[in-house]
């Protein structure tokens, strides 16, 4: 088993929490893992990404080579498209929120971004902020995203929920439950969308 | 506890390794990508119970000297910094080879190839060679953990500090680390050789000869090091030298094993015999190293040798930037994996000052005031407020190094520049701005120093700032005129008042300091939620 994931978003959106939960679950399953993060200047509203590599055998490089990623998992649609050259052209998936984060003057037309995503063969894209708002708060959109990519992972979803509990435990049971609900919603939506295709 | 598995950043693995090896104190000034080493020790329960020192220092030089003082008293110490911090502590670092150590001493230099969060790409291995201090370069998180104990033992055995050269990709990448045995801290003891701790010329001349002899013996140590390896291949067409994490990129490209002869380097000075053997047993050489071509230049020398050597200098690998598995694949001559083209509509998304950040108010007010002057110059500094150079502010003319805002403004004023405004953060001010301010005070230089005080070290994630609550007193203590040490809150509603204050002090023909204050929005949020 080997899964290479590029997590993407804008600094401050919370992609590192997704990485932490996947890390806890992977450690639990005795998988090897390397996860390169971005700290420092770019965290101030710039584009951020994390290379996450899970494998049943030792992982050498902290970085994923071009054309090898199994999925790009993103909280922002343009940020998802930033890493298409890393996707495996035969099998790579994009799982992304379609809610744009516009903090630059030259952000592309949203229709063009939507079209670029729609034209792809393997994509799960929906507005995860709106989905999170439906059941919890927009801040748990990252857990909707984790749920949405979970059907593509070789990790038991209950292990991921354990990971969510571990990461949010100190914030109280209410926050834990909200995040688990967000995770389940994301997972359901993704399964629905994939079977609909 | 034995064989515990933990998910750790390279920085954290190194920190835990040092703690388990009986560390008594870590000394540091925050700097990406090194900050998490000290933060890990600060939040580690066992370290708290043991009373391991972990308070931030004012700058890298004070940190290095404090660590050396702990080592003098026989205890194990570690000092951590980003690569440019080596420039700040260079005086203490280079002379610590002359004094030697008593308790084991690790100097962590975290280099930042690709300048993710830095102003240059300098490679700290040059410092190690310059100072005659051995260096270790871990290739992974587990090695970073294990090397900490090795480095401290080694440091005590050869009685020298040991540099631990890290790079961003290792510092900020997580992996599973298996924890080993713990060792108690050293007890207080004093150096046996006392003369070398007093670096008067007579003592230094004697010691320098010893240092040079030691360096030769360190080369032998490198031949035997468990971290330098000769791996025999089946194909002698190329011999590969791979240092630190470059070794991982090489292995990534050969999942079934590398067919070529390889020398993995993780301990310096270079093992010359091992490299000679590689040259003898291979038709040509390829050097893969993250950072500057340190090994490659040494192998090439100045005069052309018999052996063809490839690497960053002949274009086999990019001359700048961090290595990637793809760059290494190209250098070995492997076919590029099939992949999509970049998506053309994607545009860069540069970082920006947060909404609700007080630095924004400083730049808005300053820009509006300076619009009324011809050729005003603003000398910036290192921190979040460096982002004031970007649009929409475009408010800064220079950014060079920690503290340079004040001194460059002073030099500019000496040249006849007016207005000459310095913008510096609170933490940068106490790191390296205070001494420059003394120069400006002593000459009553007609400059305006704005200390944009956000009560924290913001860019690195909100560490305690050493000057919090003391900035005005520091300026007054240095001799600034109390009538021209002014304070204001950096708030949108104060825009007009800030403008008026800035204008008044810019028009004053002498030195003034304005402390413009508002807590960092990120740390304020954290403090508020901690209170709840």
- Token pair recorded at residue B316: 């086999």
Query: Which residue among B117, B176, B336 places its CB closest to the CB of A40?
Result: B117
- The angle subtended at Cα B428 by Cα B426 and Cα B433, nearest 5°, is 100
What does the pLDDT look like over B198-225, one tens digit per residue? Answer: 999 999 999 999 999 999 999 999 999 9
Q: Please tell me the CATH superfamily of domain B5-224, with its number.
A: Thiamin diphosphate (ThDP)-binding fold, Pyr/PP domains (3.40.50.970)
Of A37, A44, A89, the CB nearest to B340: A89
Spatial neighbors of B524 by CB under 8 A, at least 6 apart, are none
Place of tokens 């748990």: A140
- The closest of B113, B41, B100, B38 to B72, measured between CA atoms, is B100
**Which of B326, B491, B9 is closest to A35 using CA atoms?**
B9
pLDDT band of residue A69 (cuts 50, 70, 90) is very high
Interface of B with A in 341-360 (CB under 8 A): 341-343, 345-354
What confidence tier does B514 reach under pLDDT thresholds 50, 70, 90?
A: very high
The lowest-confidence range among A14-28, B327-341, B428-442 is: A14-28
pLDDT tier, A195 (very low <50, low <70, confident <90, very high otherwise): confident
Three-class secondary structure of residue B418 per DSSP: coil
Looking at beta carbons, which pairs linking B270-273 to residues 24 or more positions away fall under 8 Å? B270/B219, B270/B222, B270/B295, B270/B298, B271/B219, B271/B222, B271/B223, B271/B225, B271/B228, B272/B219, B273/B223
Task: Report whether B77 contacts B26 (CB < 8 A).
Answer: yes
Give dist(CA B184, CA B186) in Å, integer: 7
In chain B, which segments carry CATH 3.40.50.970?
A: 5-224, 358-527
- Residue A43's pLDDT is what? 72
Under a CB-based contact definition with an 8 Å cutoff, are residues B203 and B41 in contact?
Answer: no
Q: Which of A10, A44, A88, A112 to mutate to test the interface with B (most CBs of B within 10 A)?
A: A44
Domains of chain A and CATH, by start: 2-196 (3.40.920.10)
Rounded Cα distance between B413 and B417, Å, is: 5
The rounded distance, in Å, linking the Cα atoms of B290 and B121 is: 10
Is B387 in Cβ contact with A36 (below 8 Å)? no
Quick one: residue A128, left, alpha or beta (phi over 0 = left, psi -120 to 50 = alpha)?
A: alpha
**Residues paired with residue A52 on neighbouring β-strands, in sequence order:** A5, A35
CB contact under 8 A, B345 and A65: no
Dihedral sign for Cα atoms in the order A50, A51, A55, A58? negative
Residues B86/B118, Cβ–Cβ less than 8 Å:
no
Burial class of residue A197 in the structure, from the number of CB atoms within 10 Å of its CB (0-12 exposed, 13-18 middle, 19+ buried): exposed
pLDDT digits (tens, 9 = 90+) for A169-179: 988 999 999 99
What per-residue confidence (pLDDT) applies to A42? Answer: 66
Q: Give residue for tokens 């909280």.
A: A75
**What DSSP line would sit under B78-134, residue for residue?**
EEEEEHHHHHHHHHHHHHHHHH--SS-EEEEEEE-TT-SSSS----THHHHHHHT--
Q: Do the beta carbons of residue B412 and residue B377 sit within 8 Å?
A: yes
Distance from the A180 Cα atom to the nearest Cα atom in chain B, whole angstroms? 22
Query: Which positions in chain A touch B245 (Cβ < 8 Å)?
Result: 62
Q: Would you say residue B493 has pLDDT above 90?
A: yes
Nearest residue of A to residue B383, measured between CA atoms = A41
Token duo for residue B212: 């040079």
Does the structure show a pLDDT above 90 at A136?
A: no
Cis omega before residue B419 (within 30°)?
yes
Contacts A33 to B, Cβ<8 Å = 7, 174-176
Across the range B345-352, mean pLDDT stands at: 93
Say how many CB pairs under 8 Å bridge A and B: 147
Question: So what's the pLDDT on residue B1?
Answer: 46
Mean pLDDT of chain B: 96
Percent of chain B with pLDDT over 90: 95
pLDDT of residue A38: 81
Please say if the pLDDT value at position B52 is more than 50.
yes
Which B residues in the span 165-224 are in contact with A, Cβ-Cβ below 8 Å? 169-170, 172-176
Based on DSSP, count helices (H) and strands (E) in chain B, helices before strands: 20, 18
d(CA B239, CA B241): 7
**Radius of gyration of the CA atoms of chain A, in A:** 16
Q: Tell me what pLDDT residue A137 has.
A: 78
Q: Which DSSP category does B399 fall into?
A: -
Residue B377 backbone phi and psi in degrees, to 5: -125, 135
The DSSP letter of residue B429 is I
- Token pair belonging to B386: 């460096």
Provide φ and ψ at B148, rounded to 5°: -60, -45
pLDDT-derived band of residue A24, with 50, 70 and 90 as boundaries? Answer: confident
pLDDT in tens, B407-433: 999 999 999 999 999 999 999 999 999
Return the higher-pLDDT residue of B185 and A37. Answer: B185
Residue B435, exposed/middle/buried by CB under 10 A (0-12, 13-18, 19+)? exposed
CA distance B26 to chain A (A): 21
How many Cβ atoms sit within 10 Å of the Cβ of residue A2? 15
% of chain A residues with pLDDT over 70: 97
- Written as six digits, the tokens of A147 are 């749920």
Greatest mean pLDDT range, B4-8, B244-248, B526-530: B244-248
Closest CA to B18 of B151, B126, B166, B195: B151
Q: What is the pLDDT of residue B383?
A: 95
Instruction: Give the pLDDT confidence score for residue B2 in this predicted structure.
Output: 53
| CATH homologous superfamily, domain B358-527 | Thiamin diphosphate (ThDP)-binding fold, Pyr/PP domains (3.40.50.970)
pLDDT of residue A197: 54
Q: How far is A47 from chain B (nearest CA, A)?
A: 6
* pLDDT confidence of residue A135: 87
Q: Is B221 helix (H, G, I), strand (E, B) or coil?
A: helix
pLDDT at B430 (0 to 100): 98
Inter-chain touch A78–B347, beta carbons under 8 Å: yes
Q: Do A65 and B329 touch (CB under 8 A)?
A: yes
Q: Which CATH architecture group holds B230-332?
A: 3-Layer(aba) Sandwich (3.40)
Residue of B449, B440, B318 lying closest to B381 (CA atoms): B449
Structure tokens at A9: 């978003």
Q: Note the pLDDT tens digit of each residue in B139-184.
A: 999 999 999 999 999 999 999 999 999 999 999 999 999 999 999 9
pLDDT at B532: 64
Tokens of B206: 């004697």
pLDDT of residue B374: 96
How far does the CA of residue A84 sit from the closest CA of chain B (Å)?
Answer: 6
Rounded alpha-carbon distances, angstroms, from residue B94 to B105, B163, B199: 14, 11, 12
Question: Between A29 and B498, whose confidence is greater?
Answer: B498
pLDDT digit string, tens, across residues B422-473? 999 999 999 999 999 999 999 999 999 999 999 999 999 999 999 999 999 9
CB spacing of B460 vs A45 below 8 angstroms: no
| Edge-to-edge strand ranges of the sheet holding B377-379 | B377-379, B420-425, B448-453, B512-517, B485-489
């Amino acid at each position: 088993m080997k899964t290479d994931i590029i997590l993407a978003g804008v600094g401050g959106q919370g992609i590192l929490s997704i990485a932490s939960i996947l890390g806890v679950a992977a450690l639990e399953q005795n998988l090897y893992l390397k996860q390169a993060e971005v700290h420092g200047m770019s965290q101030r509203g710039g584009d951020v990404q994390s290379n996450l590599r899970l494998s049943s055998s030792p992982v050498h490089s902290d970085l994923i080579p071009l054309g090898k990623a199994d999925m790009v998992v993103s909280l922002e649609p343009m940020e998802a498209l930033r890493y298409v050259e890393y996707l495996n052209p035969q099998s790579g998936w994009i799982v992304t929120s379609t809610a744009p984060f516009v903090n630059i003057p030259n952000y592309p037309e949203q229709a063009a971004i939507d079209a670029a995503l729609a034209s792809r063969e393997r994509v799960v894209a929906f507005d995860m902020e709106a989905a999170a708002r439906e059941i919890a708060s927009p801040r748990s959109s990252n857990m909707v995203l984790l749920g949405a990519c979970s059907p593509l992972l070789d990790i038991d979803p209950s292990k991921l929920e354990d990971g969510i509990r571990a990461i949010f435990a100190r914030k109280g049971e209410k926050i834990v439950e909200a995040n688990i609900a967000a995770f389940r919603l994301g997972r359901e939506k993704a399964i629905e969308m994939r079977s609909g295709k | 506890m034995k064989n515990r598995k933990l998910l750790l950043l390279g920085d954290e693995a190194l920190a835990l390794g040092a703690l388990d090896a009986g560390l008594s104190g870590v000394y540091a000034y925050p700097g990406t990508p090194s900050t998490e080493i000290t933060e890990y020790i600060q939040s580690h329960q066992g370290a708290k119970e043991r009373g391991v020192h972990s308070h931030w220092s004012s700058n890298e030089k004070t940190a290095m000297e404090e660590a050396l003082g702990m080592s003098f008293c026989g205890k194990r110490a570690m000092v951590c910094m980003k690569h440019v911090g080596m420039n700040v502590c260079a005086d203490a670092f280079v002379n610590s080879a002359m004094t030697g150590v008593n308790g084991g001493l690790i100097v962590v230099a975290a280099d930042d190839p690709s300048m993710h969060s830095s102003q240059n790409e300098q490679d700290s291995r040059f410092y190690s060679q310059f100072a005659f201090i051995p260096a270790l370069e871990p290739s992974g998180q587990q090695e970073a953990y294990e090397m900490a104990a090795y480095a401290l033992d080694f440091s005590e055995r050869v009685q020298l500090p040991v540099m631990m050269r890290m790079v961003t990709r290792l510092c900020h990448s997580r992996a599973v680390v298996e924890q080993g045995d713990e060792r108690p801290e050293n007890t207080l003891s004093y150096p046996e050789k006392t003369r070398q701790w007093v670096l008067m010329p007579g003592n230094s001349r004697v010691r320098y000869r010893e240092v040079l002899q030691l360096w030769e013996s360190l080369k032998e140590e490198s031949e035997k090091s468990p971290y330098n390896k000769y791996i025999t291949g089946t194909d002698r067409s190329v011999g590969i030298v791979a240092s630190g994490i470059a070794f991982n990129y090489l292995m990534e490209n050969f999942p079934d094993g590398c067919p070529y002869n390889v020398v993995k380097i993780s301990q310096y000075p270079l093992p010359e015999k091992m490299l000679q053997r590689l040259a003898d047993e291979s038709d040509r050489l390829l050097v893969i190293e993250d950072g500057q071509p340190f090994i490659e230049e040494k192998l090439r020398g100045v005069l052309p040798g018999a052996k063809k050597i490839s690497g960053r200098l002949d274009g086999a690998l990019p001359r700048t930037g961090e290595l990637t598995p793809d760059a290494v694949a190209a250098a070995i001559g492997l076919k590029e994996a099939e992949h999509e083209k970049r998506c053309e509509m994607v545009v860069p998304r540069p970082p920006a000052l947060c909404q609700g950040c007080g630095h924004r108010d400083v730049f808005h007010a300053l820009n509006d005031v300076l619009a009324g002057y011809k050729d005003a110059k603003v000398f910036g500094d290192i921190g979040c407020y460096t982002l004031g150079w970007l649009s929409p502010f475009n408010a800064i003319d220079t950014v060079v190094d920690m503290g340079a805002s004040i001194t460059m403004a002073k030099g500019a004023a000496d040249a006849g520049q007016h207005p000459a405004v310095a913008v510096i953060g609170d933490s940068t001010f106490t790191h390296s701005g205070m001494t420059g301010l003394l120069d400006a005070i002593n000459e009553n230089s007609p400059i305006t120093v704005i200390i944009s005080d956000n009560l924290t070290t913001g860019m690195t994630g909100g560490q305690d700032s050493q000057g919090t609550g003391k900035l005005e007193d520091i300026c007054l203590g240095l001799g600034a005129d109390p009538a021209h040490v002014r304070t204001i809150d950096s708030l949108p509603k104060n825009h007009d008042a800030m403008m008026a204050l800035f204008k008044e002090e810019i028009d004053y023909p002498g030195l003034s300091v304005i402390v413009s204050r508002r807590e960092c929005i990120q740390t304020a949020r954290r403090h508020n939620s901690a209170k709840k």
